[in-house]
Amino acid sequence: MSVIADAPFSAAGAVADDDRPGFEPDEAPSALPLSLSRHLPLVEDALRWAVPPASSPLGKMCAYHLGWVSPDGEPTGGGGGKLFRAALTLWACEACGGEPEWAVPAAAAVELIHNFTLVHDDIQDGDATRRHRPTVWAVWGEAQGINAGDGLFATAYVALLAPGPRADRRMRAARALSQAVLEVIEGQSLDLALEGRPDTPRSTYVRLITAKTGALLGACLEMGAMLAGAPPRTVTKLRNAGRLLGETFQIRDDWLGSFGDPVRTGKGRTSDLARRKLTYPVVSAFSRASYAEQRRLCQLYAEPEAEDGEDLIRDILSALGEPDATAVAAAQTANAAMCAVTSSGLEARWVEDFAAIARFVAHRTG
């Protein structure tokens, strides 16, 4: 069964209608919206409860990846990211009339699942740096990196299904999360299969990122709505909004991987192009390229060791209208996500909240 084939429509490459709620591509927010950040201490406490103690080898690797300890196990002052997915889950629960605390188990679970995918993704991509620090596999080796990722995966369900109130809703949320994980893995499999293929149709790539990134963000909003007891129509609308928001997130991530500031992203600017990864700027530019430019891109992607290859690719992309075209696509998918939330039945103040969230995703700098 292919879960990718069931992905909802995408607005990438389509012009948003003038009468839809939206924003322009050049509007840049500076920080995580307050609506997402205000309840994060609840998630941080839940994560520290769920993760194995850092006194064990597995617990130390998990805690290191989450930014809590050094490779030696000494506490650090850093953190493991913005907890964006966890915050989305809490937001959806509150927006649908529930208490944020009701969604904490699901928020912790989705954050742990996200980090499980990051640990394994770093191994598959050979990325030695994340969040300005060596990745888990770069410190402990690939085999232990796999163990760390597996540990985070198992811990996610410990957090979600621990004894407590609303067990039936949490069980339904666990099923939604499991389905999303299957879709994420299928998307990642397709991503690896298409590496080095700049001639991939844009529609195929959008299906890929809807699975790889959109499925989990869709599950965030879906689980939050479920735990609040929202009606099925609202749950479905929010899931679809999350999937579109995930497309936006990945398109922006692709922009950052080729054109972003490595000081802000924590990863090298040339990592995506140097590895000849398939990204939205590449498939977008390829669709507008002349035959000669398409041939040149294919040649460069077939020669990953070519000197200055990534710079040559970036020059071709820029000549074909990147990075602007990708920035516009991110804004358009964000607008589509906002339209889904507008029709979900949420009160106007929550729709406005989501607009700020979508704006943050489409224009984040790290």
Residue 56 vs residue 24, higher pLDDT: 56
> Using 50, 70 and 90 to split pLDDT, how confident is the model at 80?
low
Residue 267's pLDDT is 56
Check: CB of residue 284 under 8 Å from CB of residue 12.
Answer: no
Q: Distance between CA atoms of 103 and 110, rounded to whole angstroms? A: 11
Residue 86's pLDDT is 97
Pairing outcome for strands 129-130 and 133-134 = antiparallel
Start-to-end Cα distance in the chain: 35
Least confident piece of the model among 109-113, 296-300, 303-307: 303-307
> Using 50, 70 and 90 to split pLDDT, how confident is the model at 77?
confident
Kindly report, residue by residue over 216-239, the tens digit of the pLDDT: 999 999 999 999 999 999 999 999
As a whole number, mean pLDDT of residues 255-259 equals: 90
- For residue 130, list its beta bridge partners: 133
Kindly report, residue by residue over 284-294, the tens digit of the pLDDT: 999 999 999 99
Q: Distance between CA atoms of 183 and 172, rounded to whole angstroms? A: 17
Contacts of 220 by beta carbon, 8 Å cutoff, 6+ apart: 85, 86, 88, 89, 92, 107, 110, 242
Residue 264's pLDDT is 63
- For 56, the token pair is 């064990």
As a whole number, mean pLDDT of residues 91-115 equals: 97
Q: Distance between CA atoms of 236 and 232, rounded to whole angstroms? A: 6
**φ and ψ at residue 354, rounded to 5 degrees:** -65, -35
Rg (CA), the chain: 20
- The position carrying tokens 């479905």 is 236
Check: CB of residue 201 under 8 Å from CB of residue 278.
Answer: no
Q: Is the pLDDT of residue 5 over 80?
A: no
Of the candidates 72, 87, 108, which has an alpha carbon nearest to the alpha carbon of residue 31? 87
Q: Is the pLDDT of residue 31 over 90?
A: no
Check: CB of residue 115 under 8 Å from CB of residue 152.
Answer: yes
Residue 124's pLDDT is 93
Check: CB of residue 119 under 8 Å from CB of residue 137.
Answer: yes
Q: Distance between CA atoms of 141 and 138, rounded to whole angstroms? A: 6
H helix count then E strand count, the chain? 18, 2
Check: CB of residue 11 under 8 Å from CB of residue 333.
Answer: yes
What is the pLDDT of the chain when averaged over all its residues? Answer: 89
Element (H, E) at 311: helix 309-319
As a whole number, mean pLDDT of residues 23-28 equals: 46
Which domains are present in the chain? 30-363 (1.10.600.10)
- For residue 129, list its beta bridge partners: 134
> Using 50, 70 and 90 to split pLDDT, how confident is the model at 22?
very low
E-strand ranges in 74-189 read 129-130, 133-134
Q: Is the pLDDT of residue 269 over 60?
A: no
Whole-model pTM? 0.89
Percent of the chain with pLDDT over 70: 88
Residue 131 φ/ψ region, left for φ over 0, alpha for ψ in the -120 to 50 degree band, beta for the rest: left
How far are the Cα atoms of 157, 213, 221, 246 from residue 239, in angstroms, in the given order? 20, 13, 6, 10
> Using 50, 70 and 90 to split pLDDT, how confident is the model at 106?
very high
Q: Is the pLDDT of residue 92 over 50?
A: yes
Q: Is the pLDDT of residue 270 over 70?
A: no
Kindly report, residue by residue over 315-360, the tens digit of the pLDDT: 999 999 999 999 999 999 999 999 999 999 999 999 999 999 999 9
The Cβ of residue 356 has, within 10 Å, a number of other Cβ atoms equal to 16
Check: CB of residue 330 under 8 Å from CB of residue 288.
Answer: no
Residue 274's pLDDT is 84
- The position carrying tokens 């409860």 is 49
Least confident piece of the model among 3-17, 24-38, 254-268: 3-17
Residue 24's pLDDT is 47
Check: CB of residue 97 under 8 Å from CB of residue 228.
Answer: yes
**φ and ψ at residue 235, rounded to 5 degrees:** -60, -45
Contacts of 168 by beta carbon, 8 Å cutoff, 6+ apart: none
Q: Is the pLDDT of residue 13 over 70?
A: no
Q: Is the pLDDT of residue 1 over 60?
A: no
Residue 176 vs residue 262, higher pLDDT: 176
